[in-house]
Copies of this chain bind each other. A is one copy, B any other.
Amino acid sequence: MSGDLRIGIAGLGTVGGGVAKLLRDQADLLAARCGRTIRVTAVAARDKAKDRGVDLSACRWHDDARALAGDPDVDVVVELIGGSDGVARELIEAAIAAGKPVVTANKALLALHGTVLAKAAETAGVPLAYEAAVAGGIPVIKALREGLAANRVKRVHGILNGTCNYILTTMRETGREFADVLADAQKLGYAEADPSFDVDGIDAAHKLAILSSVAFGRELDFAGIHVEGIRHVSALDLAFAEQLGYRIKLLGIAGVTDHGIEQRVHPCMVPLAAPIAHVEGVFNAVFVEAEPVGNVLLTGRGAGEGPTASAVVADILDIARGHHAPVLGLPPSRLAPGETAPMGRHYGAYYIRLMVKDQPGVIADVAAAFRDNAVSMESVLQQARDPSGPVPVVITTHETEEAGMMRAIQRIAALGSVVEPPRLIRIEAL
């Protein structure tokens, strides 16, 4: 490959504008790095008049992003429209069919259709690059697919959603409740007006599906991921976590178990000694446990114009250099099926908080429910006394199978002395 590399950008929002600006600002450096000039020749966006801080008047403008795939002046299609279907998907499919390399930051699309798209790209022999889709500016896809490619991965876990990490960090630091902190995060632009994609764990699960596929060499299985968000984490749980030597983080975890690959996104109690416990605010982190390299932790900003543009342009540079690795790390025919171990077989420790009437016999009833389901308790904490109202009881358990734990919780929830649904947070031995 030689000659200019001509880029078509679909979507000129914050990230699209950032990519155009970075390609302009670093044009000289990038040309030196890859021996070719990289320039934006076409764009697709609604409002041509809008000021994006970069002059794109010399580009061809398309109203329909899908036209970029057929534009003879476009060598590489950069898809920054978003959405798991519709125009974004049609554009990527058309670009692949036209033999044009694709760079995308679209995690939803990859999580749901990544296997099919990877197969189409491999068949067509064109790169499909997506560094920006997972953990923003952290080059984690490159690390897994290239830098750590000689390793057998045992587990990968990470803080994959900056909005949730910001909310949990702020809740812990201020003692305020979820709804209150979310409202502030929305004002500050750290959370969307409709926050459910972030706070319900869906965005983290999209990223985990991709990470897990690349880490373990398997087809994507987004549907198999157990997903819980952070809406039910309370200031009380954060305070108890601190007291027990933990910090609460929303983690995405994928790992090898006796029952297959498990994939789960949920709030976790993380020991304070774990480095990931200290990744705070909007930062993301990915922790890889692999043989023979051992443990590798990568931390950085997971979203925003700068980090995302950094990752998108790195992908463009790889394409300019002619670098081309299998989309998911292995040829499609070598990918294992995307099957996920059932959550009932998850084996781990638990934190449970009950709100109970302060009367004799409650702990005995609770303990019996655990015993009858072969769950072994590690500690029981009932600090407050208040005969007039409910008081918190906090239990931690030894490692046990989730199915038994869920039966125990169901029985405990039905006790007359338990006045709120039990809160359960898994404890991770990291």
Contacts and interface: CB of A to CB of B under 8 A. Distances in A.
Interface of A: 18, 22, 26, 29-30, 32-33, 35, 131, 137-139, 142-143, 146-152, 217, 275, 278-279, 290-301, 305-307, 309-311, 313-314, 317-318, 321-326, 329-331, 334
Nearest to A137: B293
Contacts of A329: 33
Given A33-B325, A33-B330, 14 more contacts: A22-B150, A30-B149, A30-B150, A32-B330, A33-B329, A138-B296, A139-B143, A147-B311, A278-B278, A292-B305, A294-B306, A296-B298, A298-B298, A323-B323
20 contacts: A29-B150, A29-B152, A32-B334, A33-B329, A139-B142, A139-B146, A139-B296, A142-B143, A143-B143, A149-B313, A149-B314, A150-B309, A275-B275, A275-B278, A291-B306, A292-B305, A292-B306, A293-B301, A297-B298, A298-B299
A137 B294 contact: yes
Nearest to A145: B33
Contacts of A137: 148, 293-294, 296
A330 B317 CA distance: 13
A21 B278 CA distance: 36
Given A292-B305, A292-B307, A314-B150, A32 B331 contact: yes
A310 B148 contact: yes
Nearest to A151: B310
A296 B292 contact: no
- Which 6 pairs between the two chains have the least Cβ-Cβ distance? A139-B147, A292-B306, A150-B313, A137-B293, A296-B300, A293-B310
Contact of A307 (B293, B307, B309): B293
A16 to B, nearest CB: 14
A40 to B, nearest CB: 14
Contacts of A324: 321
B26 A152 contact: yes
A310 B33 contact: no
A325 B321 contact: yes
Interface hub of A131, A147, A279, A324 (most chain B Cβ within 10 A): A147
A393 to B, nearest CB: 33
A299 B296 contact: yes
Given A22-B150, A149-B314, A300 B292 contact: no
